[in-house]
Structure 1
Amino acid sequence: MRRAGRLVLGIGALAVGVFALDRALPPDLSRLHSGVEVLDRHGRTLSTLPAPGGIWRLPTATADVPPHLVAMLVAAEDARFRWHPGVDPLALTRAAFQWVRAGRIVSGGSTLTMQAARLLEPRPRTLRSKAIEILRALQLEARFSKDEILGIWLTLAPQGGNLEGLRAGAFAWFGRAPGQLDAAESALLVALARRPEALRPDRHPEAARAARDAMLRHRAPGAGQVSPAERELALETPVPTARHPMPRLAPHLSRQLARNAAPGARIVTTLDRDLQRAAEALAEDRLLALSDHAAMAMVVAEIETREIRALVGGSFGVETRAGMLDLTRAVRSPGSAQKPFLYALAFEAGVARPETLVADLPFRFGSYAPENFSRDFVGRITAADALRQSLNLPAVALLSELGVLRYATALKLAGSPPRLARGAEPSLPLALGGAGTTLRELVALYALLGDAGRAAPLVALPGPPAERPEVVLPRAAAAVAGIMVNPFPGGGPQGVAWKTGTSWGGRDGWALGLDARHVAGVWVGRPDGTPIPGLTGRGAALPALAAIFARLPAAPRQPLAVRATPRPFAEAADRLRLLFPMPGAVLAEGGPVTLRAAGGRRPLVFLVDGAPLDHHRARREAAWVPPGPGFYRVTVLDADGVAAGAELRVR
């Protein structure tokens, strides 16, 4: 009994010592720090980013590879892997006997666990290194499951050049994820790990094929996962002779997400790989018709969730300095692309309605005298048609009556705060793109028009929906979206509301649109902001927008339509207001001036400096001849005593 007790104590002390040694000298797992992989919403690879040092190493688990690859690997490298504790005494004895008999190393006797230890901590091939590998293998077996140990091997096994791991090898040699590998491809990767440089198929295709075929003939049958017919078909398959580029869809967004990701992370996004690939190909194709150094950025999102489905950050070539810029986040002048939001806010506030007549005539707002893009004027026109034709004077007039600060505040609440020069204050040019915004913000702004006026930012990562902020345009959003539903020039999908914009000097061309499910935006310009002669949003960006909507999923997409306007909106639009002159207007001396009002209950009375004018009181217009230069106060009164007025100057 005393001897048995001492034996138990000795075993216990040895166990404690081994445990303490394991904790004092744990295996170094730092080489498992891998690159980042970015996935689409269905788990398909969009892009990969290398590990530090430019090594293509991506985490690979047994679940990531087909069962026949794991079975082939175990059959080739360590048939008793599932049963030994990390070291196979039979394999070591056989290796030692072969070494003594041949006078050289014939086989190493290494188990897959020992190989994993060597991959984690590479050392010269010596007896001392072998002893350390044995100890490390025992540690790994104590710390990890068999599948986790296989995962270490699958992640670190060399695949030639700067490729490590079978996930990186599958992308580089076959252009797809390892889960899709067939028997021939699996055999090549397993064989390649033994002598990665001597068997590189791009440099030594015959040697690579011979090694693969030997693996198929001698190891695949024992693996029990490959049928004779599959093996014969695999033997006839050629080996690749060149590397595929690593996956790099959505490179700008991928780099953005990878900056804050842990090494080896797999980041699931909201993007759709098929739509992303189509958007990138479309951008590259469209750029062929544009000037040198032009770039195109695109964003496609679902309206209900605000989830981004495709994002092209700028197809200028990501290797260049300019190509590294994500142009969906670049602050640019929107030109007329923000006008729909201005009209929606004006309708919401009762300043105008879609059928309200507005004047597109030469007019000065103080020192500001806007002109249309065409340099001509159309006269009286409805607000809806003024928006469709993107006329500038009516937009500025609406902003003048609405109030610049009110509009700027609404833009901020909607997630598109106007970026102004340092020290500048919002002013009337804000109606025509006089402040910066980004493509992502503009797309979110258009999504608001298709979502009953609710504001929410675009998102690229899945998650529970964020709390919706206050509804910005509860009544007018649908009306404005309906106004913008027009056929695409040159043909395209129906039921899409769209608008274009061009910034001053042809620096930025925009096209944005929405249907019942999706919202999309396209920007064209140069990354450095220099003008492109002749650039317009209609000519450069709109064809790409039409093509994007033509490629969107065919799942339910009913056309947009002008929905019935709630009564409170109509009541607000009926309030009395002075259409002309606008506050702060400056008129030239000479000739009569027609004062105009809208809303209110007739009869109306027009007054200038408190003196009533002689006119037909059932009408909403009155003629007035200024007596000379000076400042005047124009007022209109309705039958309920409601007043509206404006101050102007005649010179």
Structure 2
Amino acid sequence: MLLLAIGLDRAFPLPPVPRYSPIVLAADGSVLHAFLNPTQKWRMKTELQEITPALQQAIIVKEDRYFRYHFGVNPLAILQAAGRNLFRTGRTTGASTITMQVARLLEPKERTFGNKIGEMLRAVQLEAHYSKAEILQLYLNLVPYGGNIEGVKSAALLYFQQPPDYLSLAQTVTLAIIPNQPRGLVLGKNNARIVAERNRWLRRFGQQKLFPAQDIADALAEPLTAVRHPAPTLAPHLARRLVTQFPGQPILHATLQRSPQAKAEDLTRNYVRRLHELGISQAAVLVVNNRTRAVEAYVGSADFQDAAGQGQVDGVRAIRSPGSTLKPFLYALAMDRGLVTPKLKLPDVPTNFSGFRPENFDKTCSGEVTMERALTYSLNIPAVRVLADLGVPAFTDKLRQAGFRRVAQDAPRLGLSTILGGCGATLEELTGLYVALANRGKYGPLRVTSPPAPQTLDARYPRRGEPIPKKVSPGSLLSAGEGGRGGEVAGADVTLVSPAAAFLTTEILTQRIRPDLPLSYESSLHLPRIAWKTGTSYGRRDAWSIGYNHDYTVGVWVGNFNGQGSPSLTGTDIATPLLFELFNTLAYNSPNNWMAPPASLDFRLVCAETGLVPGEHCPNQLIDYYLPGFSTARHCEHKKEALLSADGRVAYCRACLPELGYRRQLFPNPLPEVLAFREAQGLPAKRLPPHNPACRLVRSDDDASAALAITSPLANAEYLLNRGEKQQLLLSCAAGSEVRQVFWYVNDRFLRAASATERVFFRPPAGAVKISCADDHGRNVDVQVLVGEI
């Protein structure tokens, strides 16, 4: 008999469980988003912990009192039903146990005597394979509730907007009675009949003392106002992302928090509505918990249903130009390499980087600015200069470690424009980078999924106090949601920048005045302190604003998914207001805990003119942070001592210094390009007097390259000139303050003399051309260019 049973079991295996409706749960277990199953039914999987004792009691007492005792078929019930049906005494019944009903729901067939025998055999087979708890769970997942609604969880969510374990006793009994008459007892249509049937069973349960008398009385008095509601549709972009990533899994556990998610969606939708007149139709938002790196709000677009604005595009993962949002990370890396400190002065003058001529956003230059000011006001020219010193490969390699996929792919082709948005990045990647700054420089992937809660079923009958026996381990239960654990790339944290560099960068990013703060200081006491950075891509196609404090990092992108720009689209004016609305809503009145300076950071005095270690002529000094052992220890030389004749018209070197009749004087010693900028702008720029004409100076090549440079034309560049328009080539150079006159040569032939700051134009010959420049101190540099004609 045993061998026969095993053979029949293998020959006629159990039918597969019908496909469930995928649902995405929030961190608290509530349903964020639900989808129809492949057969267009709402069949949401009821987890074990959602089957409350009240639901168990109501279902079992009503449907199958001896459920925990029989082996799938109740012989006494069969004999009783046969007698009633044969002698037509009492109500006609079918003697179906809960297990037999599960068999029928798994294989729906016409109700005939033969099919009834088949149900009994299937019921015995089910009992051999599953525990009572699992069979009850299957039943509650498959029972019909009219229309395309199946299962207790689907009915609870669509009619009561609550999961089964949050229902009252009256609501629980309501769901227990409907499966017997799913077409006659339709919630929202036949509520009066449903209330009468519900109360009848409540009174019966009261007579059996199944529930406390007060609970029964409260349930009898509870009105029924249930109507069908739409399925939950929060976080549609993340929900589709997870369903695609984990196909076939009925329950997906996300890290999102329901309240922040709903608030973020509402704020984003309402904010973008105000931007439509400006030609801006979309926005995306990401809110991350810094301590856990869990994404708590995920808004892929302002309105998922907005077909005209391509609302189904996921703006969190769309690859866009990051604008200036990478600058904080660049300066943090530069501080770790000892290239800059917050008070270090950087040149902010028009500069040609081998053909790349960056401009600041406002088209102006300041001459020299501190590093912290360059970052605070997002100046482009200083950032490009720092990237040139750091090296593009070193920068992109760090971005690769931070999960920037497009940057890693395009790294061999990226150049200095990378820091101004000349690469591809997503809101998810950029927000993760700022989370690393908030976490003292340590990077780890963001999490959008979390492990499911332990699956348990308190399968007890309070009347008798006996548990439903288990036949399998909890790990093999049908409802074990295994897929919620491995959604994102896992791995150890990566240190991108030091805690000291992260702290200094954060301090700089808090210096700019928030645009949303009121004039009254007392009114802003409850607002969270935030470090924030904006970015605007070329053509004003993307506006970014990313901010963080001790608890949260919030990333905002605003623009159009079709790539169309808008004259009003800037990070400061368009993206930042939404950033602060989100922060003020999510973290209002939160403790403003802030980062403490790490032990690896120290103070030192620096020259106020350059930000370098004070030299011999640095009377004005201030305090600056620095990284001991890493920050540059170069001494300041912003002033240079010169030996002049008594009348100040001639400068002497040591070789031609007379014994008497000279004096010492300090002269500014800026970089040649800074000096040229000041002179071009009409700013005070003092040059040294010409050198003693009776002295013949001998300079090394290194000194020549440091004090004299040709800024136009570019070395090894190709120029195509239109002869019909009589186009000419520009000659310009950058020279030290001691240079008064330069001499230009073309193909080793003298062209003309000019002042050090004069712009010279000439018509070059076609082909390879050698351009040379010599100054009045005997230094010489040259470049090679190729000239073509059309």
Structure 2 residue 485 is the aligned partner of structure 1 residue 485: no
- Displacement of 1:101 in angstroms is 4.0
- What is the identity, as a one-letter code, of the residue corresponding to 1:63? Q
**SS state of the match for residue 187, structure 1?**
helix
Q: Measure, in 1, the Cα distance between the counterparts of 2:167 and 2:291.
A: 37
For residues 39-118 of structure 1, the aligned pairs below 5 Å read 39-102=25-88, 106-118=92-104
Cα separation, partners in 2 of 1:23 and 1:308, compared to 1, 3 Å: same
Structure 2 residue 558 is the aligned partner of structure 1 residue 573: no
CA contact (8 A) 2:399 2:407 kept: no
- In the superposition, the TM-score normalised over structure 2's length comes to 0.70
- Displacement of 1:326 in angstroms is 1.8
Cα separation, partners in 2 of 1:452 and 1:399, compared to 1, 3 Å: same
- Displacement of 1:320 in angstroms is 4.3
- What is the identity, as a one-letter code, of the residue corresponding to 1:496? I
- Displacement of 1:156 in angstroms is 0.3
Equivalent residue number for residue 27 of structure 1: 14
**SS state of the match for residue 573, structure 1?**
coil
- Displacement of 1:514 in angstroms is 1.4
Alpha-carbon displacement from aligned partner over 1:430-484 (angstroms, at most 9, x marks no partner):
2211111011110111122222322322222347973123544454222111100
Task: Work out which of the residue numbers 423, 438, 443 in structure 2 matches 1:455.
Answer: 443
Question: Structure 1: 5+ residue runs without aligned partners?
Answer: 1-13, 597-604, 615-619, 635-644
Equivalent residue number for residue 617 of structure 1: none
**SS state of the match for residue 624, structure 1?**
coil
For residues 103-502 of structure 1, the aligned pairs below 5 Å read 106-219=92-205, 221-222=207-208, 224-225=210-211, 227-261=212-246, 263-291=248-276, 294-318=281-305, 320=307, 322-416=310-404, 419=407, 425-462=413-450, 466-473=491-498, 475-486=500-511, 487-491=513-517, 493-502=527-536
CA contact (8 A) 2:516 2:580 kept: no
Structure 2 residue 579 is the aligned partner of structure 1 residue 545: yes
**SS state of the match for residue 553, structure 2?**
strand
Structure 2 residue 544 is the aligned partner of structure 1 residue 559: no
Alpha-carbon displacement from aligned partner over 1:183-222 (angstroms, at most 9, x marks no partner):
1111221122112232221333333333333332334653
- Displacement of 1:128 in angstroms is 1.7
- In the superposition, the TM-score normalised over structure 1's length comes to 0.84
CA contact (8 A) 1:173 1:242 kept: yes
- What is the identity, as a one-letter code, of the residue corresponding to 1:447? V
Could you say which structure has the higher helix fraction?
1
Q: Measure, in 1, the Cα distance between the counterparts of 2:97 and 2:154.
A: 23
Q: Measure, in 2, the Cα distance between the counterparts of 1:399 and 1:633.
A: 30
Cα separation, partners in 2 of 1:426 and 1:297, compared to 1, 3 Å: same
Q: Which runs of 4 or more aligned residues in structure 1 lie more than 6 Å from their structure 2 counterparts after TM superposition? A: 420-424, 576-579, 585-596, 605-609, 645-650
CA contact (8 A) 2:187 2:194 kept: yes
Q: Measure, in 2, the Cα distance between the counterparts of 1:633 and 1:477.
A: 45
CA contact (8 A) 1:608 1:632 kept: no
Question: Structure 2: 5+ residue runs without aligned partners?
Answer: 451-484, 518-523, 603-625, 637-668, 688-697, 708-734, 745-770, 786-790
- What is the identity, as a one-letter code, of the residue corresponding to 1:565? L
- What is the identity, as a one-letter code, of the residue corresponding to 2:583? F
CA root-mean-square deviation? 3.9
Between 1:108-117 and 1:492-501, the stretch displaced more is 492-501
CA contact (8 A) 1:337 1:499 kept: yes
Q: Measure, in 2, the Cα distance between the counterparts of 1:165 and 1:200.
A: 14
Task: Work out which of the residue numbers 15, 24, 32 in structure 1 matches 2:2.
Answer: 15
- Displacement of 1:25 in angstroms is 1.1
Q: Measure, in 2, the Cα distance between the counterparts of 1:507 and 1:535.
A: 7
**SS state of the match for residue 627, structure 1?**
strand
**SS state of the match for residue 504, structure 1?**
coil
Cα separation, partners in 2 of 1:252 and 1:54, compared to 1, 3 Å: same
Alpha-carbon displacement from aligned partner over 1:49-94 (angstroms, at most 9, x marks no partner):
3322222212225531221111111121112222222222332233
Alpha-carbon displacement from aligned partner over 1:523-570 (angstroms, at most 9, x marks no partner):
112222222341222222212222332344677651346657256557
CA contact (8 A) 1:55 1:163 kept: yes
State the number of aligned residues: 613
> In terms of Rg, which structure is larger?
2
Cα separation, partners in 2 of 1:375 and 1:220, compared to 1, 3 Å: farther
- Displacement of 1:520 in angstroms is 1.8
Cα separation, partners in 2 of 1:590 and 1:342, compared to 1, 3 Å: closer
Between 1:264-273 and 1:68-77, the stretch displaced more is 264-273
CA contact (8 A) 2:438 2:502 kept: yes
Between 1:258-267 and 1:473-482, the stretch displaced more is 258-267
Percent identity at matched positions? 34
- Displacement of 1:299 in angstroms is 1.4
- What is the identity, as a one-letter code, of the residue corresponding to 2:219? A
Equivalent residue number for residue 599 of structure 1: none
Cα separation, partners in 2 of 1:366 and 1:594, compared to 1, 3 Å: farther
Q: Measure, in 2, the Cα distance between the counterparts of 1:410 and 1:593.
A: 42
CA contact (8 A) 1:521 1:545 kept: yes
Q: Measure, in 1, the Cα distance between the counterparts of 2:198 and 2:249.
A: 29
Cα separation, partners in 2 of 1:467 and 1:22, compared to 1, 3 Å: same
Between 1:574-583 and 1:543-552, the stretch displaced more is 574-583
